[in-house]
Amino acid sequence: MLQKEQHQKPDGVITKKINGKTFITEIYFDKKSKDTFQDKLFKVVKAERK
């Protein structure tokens, strides 16, 4: 039995143009997490720097 995916509205959308191409990224956060938005954003920035 296939489960229907429930479309969830993203918590944020980032649009970035790189070398003439536009990249659109949808961001979803775990609502049950105790991290603040700043904590989550810091983790994303830190991961991109690696």
User: What token pair was written down for 49?
Assistant: 């720097």
- Res 40: pLDDT: 80
pLDDT digits (tens, 9 = 90+) for 1-50: 555 567 778 888 989 999 999 999 998 877 788 888 788 888 888 888 76
- Res 21: pLDDT: 96
Domain chopping of the chain, boundaries: 12-48
For residue 38, which phi and psi values (nearest 5 degrees)? -60, -40
CA–CA distance, 29 with 12 (Å, rounded to integer): 9
Q: Length of the chain, please?
A: 50
- Report yes or no on whether pTM surpasses 0.85: no
- Res 23: pLDDT: 95
- Res 3: pLDDT: 57
